[in-house]
A and B are shown apart, each in its own frame.
Chain A
Amino acid sequence: MRRAIDREGPDRLYVITSGRSRGGDEALDSVTLIVTESEPVSGMQSEHVRILQMCRRPMAVVEIAARLELPVTVVRILLTDLLDAGHITARHPAVADLATASVSPAVLEKVLVALHNL
C-alpha cells in the first residue's frame, strides 16, 4: 500500500513539488472537490496535466492522490499551484464549521436516504 513512497523514492517527490515541503493549501480538505477550468497548455508539468485531465468532472483531493499514486501532502502542493494559476477551482466540503463538524439535519437526511437506496 505504501507504493508511492516505496516505488518513487523521495527524490522524485522532491522534484515534483520543486522542493517545497510546505505551502500546500491547508484549506484543501481531503474531500474538497477539484474541477478543471482550463485545458492543459504545452510545457506544463506532467502531474499538472494529469490533474487537469482527471478533473473535467469533479474529483476529491484524496481520489486525485490515489489515482496519481502520490501522497496527499504532495498533491495538495500541486493543486495549490493550479489554483493560483486559475486552472482549477475548488468546491469545499459541506461542513460549515470544521471545528464542530456540524452537518445540517437536511443534509444528514439526504445521507440517510442515499444509504437506504444503496
Chain B
Amino acid sequence: MHSTTSDPTALPATAAHGLKIVVVGGFGVGKTTLVRSVSEIRPLSTEETMTQAGAGVDSLRGVPHKNTTTVAFDFGRITVDETFVLYLFGAPGQERFWFLWDRLFTGALGAVVLVDARRLEDSWYSIDRLEAQGTPFVVAHNNFGSPHTLDQIRAALDLDDAVPLVECDARDRESVKQVLVTLVRHVMATTTREVLR
C-alpha cells in the first residue's frame, strides 16, 4: 500500500471545498468522453443505490429488499486552486434515475445537458427537471455528424432563449473547455439577475 502523499493525483493538503458540475444525457451521448477530455484523473466510476421507501434491508436476515435501484455514474476532477476542487459528474438523465440527482447533485453549480440530435427525446426529462429545480444549465450538442442546425435543435427541444445552446465535440479538450466556460458564465449571469431582482 503506497502512501497517498506520493500519489501524483492526490489533492493538495489544503483542499477544502468541493464544487460540482453535472453532465446529463442519454446512454452513449458522450458524457464519459466529455469528462475524460478535461479531467486531471482518469474518470472513475461508482454507483449509488436507493431502496424504495418502506423497504430496506431485512434487519433480521440481512436479505436486501428487491426494490433496490442501482445506478452507475462516473466523474472526473479539475483542481481549481489550493482550496477549491471541481468535480464533473457524468450521469444518465432518465426519469428512473431521479434519486441520483437528489443524492449526488444537490448543490451543483450548474449542469450541461449533452444531446445527440438523433435522440433529442432522451433529454426532455433532464431539461424539465433542471428548469423546475432552478439549476442553471446549458445544452451542448455533441455532434456525431448531424445535419441539424442549432436553431432546429432549439426548436425541437422547445428550449428557452435564455438557455445557451452550443456545439461540442466531447473528444476535444478545447471544445469541452468552451462548453464549461459557457456554463460558468451563464451561472454568473443568472446569479447576477437574481441579486438584482
Could you list which residues of chain A lie within 8 angstroms of chain B, going by C-beta atoms?
1-2, 4-5, 10-11, 13-15, 19-22, 29-33, 53-60, 62-63, 65-67, 69-74, 91-95, 98, 100-103, 105, 107-116, 118
The answer to whether the Cβ of B109 comes within 8 Å of any Cβ in the partner chain is yes
Which one of B19, B38, B185, B191 has the greatest number of beta carbons of chain A within 10 Å?
B19
Other-chain contact of B47, A4, A33, A67 (Cβ < 8 Å):
A4
**Contact of B146 with A by CB under 8 A:** no
Chain B contacts for A70, CB-based, 8 A: 46
Tell me the count of chain B residues lying within 8 A, CB to CB, of chain A: 63
Known A-B contacts A72-B47, A115-B181; the reply to A98 vs B107 at CB < 8 A is yes
A60 neighbours in B (Cβ, 8 Å): 18, 77, 85, 87
14 pairs, CB–CB < 8 Å, chain A vs chain B: A2-B70, A14-B64, A31-B18, A31-B87, A58-B13, A63-B77, A66-B45, A67-B44, A71-B47, A71-B49, A72-B103, A112-B185, A114-B86, A115-B181
Contact B104 A59 (CB under 8 A): no
Which of B81, B107, B180, B191 is close to A110, meaning CB atoms less than 8 Å apart? B81
Q: Per a CB cutoff under 8 Å, which of A31, A65, A67, A118 touches B19?
A: A31
Q: Is the CB of B15 within 8 A of A71?
A: no
Task: Point out the residues of chain A lying under 8 angstroms from B4, CB to CB.
Answer: 53-57, 59
User: Inside 8 A of B109's CB, which chain A residues have their CB?
Assistant: 95, 101, 103, 108, 111
Confirm or deny: B162 has a beta carbon within 8 angstroms of a beta carbon on chain A. no
* New contact pairs (4) apart from A62-B75, A114-B86, A115-B180, CB-CB < 8 Å: A30-B103, A59-B10, A110-B81, A115-B78
Q: Output the least CB separation between B105 and chain A (Å).
A: 8
Most chain A beta-carbon contacts within 10 A, residue among B51, B79, B109: B109
Q: Which 10 A-B pairs have the closest CB atoms?
A: A31-B18, A94-B17, A66-B44, A1-B72, A57-B10, A10-B64, A21-B57, A66-B46, A95-B107, A58-B15
